[in-house]
Amino acid sequence: MKDILFKVQNMNKSFGITRANHNVSMEIKRGEVHGLIGENGSGKSTLISMISGMAERDSGELFLNGKPYEPVSPLTALESHIGTVVQELGLVDGLSVAANIFLGRMDRFKKLNIIDNAALYNEVEEIYKKWNLPRINPRTLAGTLTVEQKKIVELTRALSIDPDILILDEITAALSYNTRKILFDIIDELKAKGKSILIVTHDIEELLDLSDEITILRDGEKVATKRADELTESSLKKLMVGREIEGDYYRADNEDDYKDEVVLKINNISDGENFNEVSIDLHKGEIVGLCGLSDAGIHEVAEAVFGVRPIVSGEITLANGNRKIESASIAMAYGMGYVPKDRDKQALMVSDSIENNVTLSMLDDLKGPLGFISPGKITDVGKRVIKDYKVIAVNEKMPLASLSGGNRQKVNLGRWLLQNKDILILDSPTRGVDVGVKAYIYDIMKQLKKKGVSILLVSDELPEVIGLSDTVYVFKNSKIEKKFRRSEELTEEKIIEVML
């Protein structure tokens, strides 16, 4: 029996009437990868926030190396050699990469009360080399980074303390295939050194592969802790949701199926930096999947198609009226909706209410004869999205910040579905959502396809792309490397071979 490095005992935390954690207990052994899983809202992130000093517990005890552990801030956790990568993005956009990595720990770089930037940047470069992390310029402002780059910076910060415990809350969902491989190597290295990893992921297959033991939460309470080799995907899903969940949620057909009509034509577009000479025809009722490594440009293509990223050559044209997409306002006016990868920064106002987030993109439709918008209409739309898309919320006035990641995504997607858009651009639509919400989103996509809605699906999840798409475009070196049609023979291995 390995030594217990960290112990959680009878932890409790409530937010008003919402009980986030109730008598949760857990033990993490040295040299162990301990998985933590549950549906959105089950209390995983709340538990992690208390361990990492970001939230104060109502009651309960924490022990590190057999001694009481009392984190009063994230800095306390770092000083105790507990490094955490949180689920939501945790950087200060106005600071540099290096400043974010050593935030609260800059005194070591001071000379005569002035920060020695050269020493700071060199230290960051050394951490990159030590852990074989992708290099991100230490001088770059965090606000200019992609979601994946931000996660790499957060991981760098967590590793900068040479952690005894590394806590990873939904990091893999933000990473591309090649960066995940680097992360898995880091996990193996830490484990070999007798360090411990607490990992949260909604990717059940990944969790079973990585973990030695898995703790399952449901409705804020611990359901069980079991060895990973005692569990199957089916049994783990049942423990999470309290019922049997059958199927893998993907399409049952093995052939492409869509209309001949082209609704969107992407003709030889380039942005001069992230993608070049990209041409795609999107047909009525077709799901087109885009995949590639971290620098392939697939997420930037999605931004360009919706008009939020300028292109330097080529054109994007809607077949209906032969209208060029040159801005997001034109895209929305002509029946397009966009769910970006970074929902909290690019799509939602997390401090504002559900109803205001839902109605923001449809204000013109809600105006009365004199140009005014009735507050009653806004409330009605908020109530409708909660009801129609099964958002777990007290009411439409709740701020999005109080919702789980899965419920935020339902609001994010639901606001476009209420408007009956003809074309949807979905970038990583299931990032950070649990198995139940993932199945729900896939079901919506299949229903939309049947109704003739066209979908551009951008994802780092290859099973998702293969399981839902009629046509798959694999990007490499900022260009389309190969096009696959839907077939029973299309596998992850074939796509990875092209990506690499």
Residues 206 and 315 in one domain: no
Distance between CA atoms of residues 424 and 430, nearest Å: 15
* Closest residue by Cα to residue 25 from 226, 200, 225: 225
pLDDT, tens digit (0-9, with 9 covering 90-100), for 398-423: 888 888 777 888 888 888 888 889 99
Residue-wise pLDDT for 276-307, tens only, equals 999 999 999 999 999 998 888 999 999 999 99
In a domain, 147, yes or no: yes
DSSP conformation letters of 59-89 = EEEEEETTEE----SHHHHHHTTEEEE-SS-
Residues 193 and 291 in one domain: no
pLDDT one-digit tens code per residue, 89-139: 678 989 999 999 999 898 888 888 888 899 999 999 999 999 999 999 999
Q: What is the pLDDT of residue 184?
A: 95
pLDDT, tens only, 351-396: 888 888 888 777 777 776 766 777 888 888 889 888 888 888 888 8
At which of 210, 241, 272 does a domain end? 241
Do 373 and 405 belong together in one domain? yes
Does 246 reside within a domain?
no
> Looking at the structure, do residues 490 and 421 belong to the same domain, yes or no?
yes
pLDDT the model gives residue 309: 93
The predicted model scores a pTM of 0.75
Residues 459-484 have pLDDT tens digits of 988 889 999 999 999 999 999 999 99
Residue 168 shares a structural domain with residue 288: no
Q: Which domain holds residue 281?
A: 262-499
The answer to whether position 200 is within a domain reads yes
Q: Clarify whether residues 227 and 374 are in a common domain.
A: no
Flag whether 24 is in a domain. yes
Could you give the angle at the alpha carbon of 291 between the alpha carbons of 438 and 246, nearest 5°?
A: 25
Q: Is residue 252 part of a domain?
A: no
Query: Which pLDDT band, with edges at 50, 70 and 90, does 233 fall under?
Result: confident
Q: Are residues 208 and 289 in the same domain?
A: no
Q: How far is CA 128 from the centre of its chain?
A: 23
Residue with tokens 């399409």: 251
Least confident span in 21-25, 181-185, 433-437, 471-475 = 433-437
Say which range, 60-64, 383-387, 452-456, has the weakest mean pLDDT: 383-387
Does residue 269 share a domain with residue 186? Answer: no
Of 241, 273, 297, which marks where a domain is finished?
241
Q: Which of 47, 136, 138, 31 is nearest to 84 (CA)?
A: 47
pLDDT tens for 150-172 read 999 999 999 999 999 999 988 88
Do 39 and 434 touch, CB atoms closer than 8 A? Answer: yes
Tell which phi-psi region holds residue 82, choosing left (phi > 0), alpha (psi between -120 and 50) or beta. beta
CA pair distance 84, 169, nearest whole angstrom: 8
User: Does any domain span residue 111?
Assistant: yes
Domain end marker among 190, 212, 241? 241
Looking up residue 357, the CATH number of its domain turns out to be 3.40.50.300
Number of domains into which the chain is organized: 2
The answer on 101 and 138 residing in a single domain is yes
Phi, psi of 276 (to 5 degrees): -140, 135
Does residue 339 form part of some domain? yes
Residues 405 and 324 placed together within one structural domain of the fold: yes
Q: Is residue 433 domain-resident?
A: yes
Q: Are residues 77 and 168 in the same domain?
A: yes
Residues 164 and 272 in one domain: no
Mean pLDDT of the chain: 89
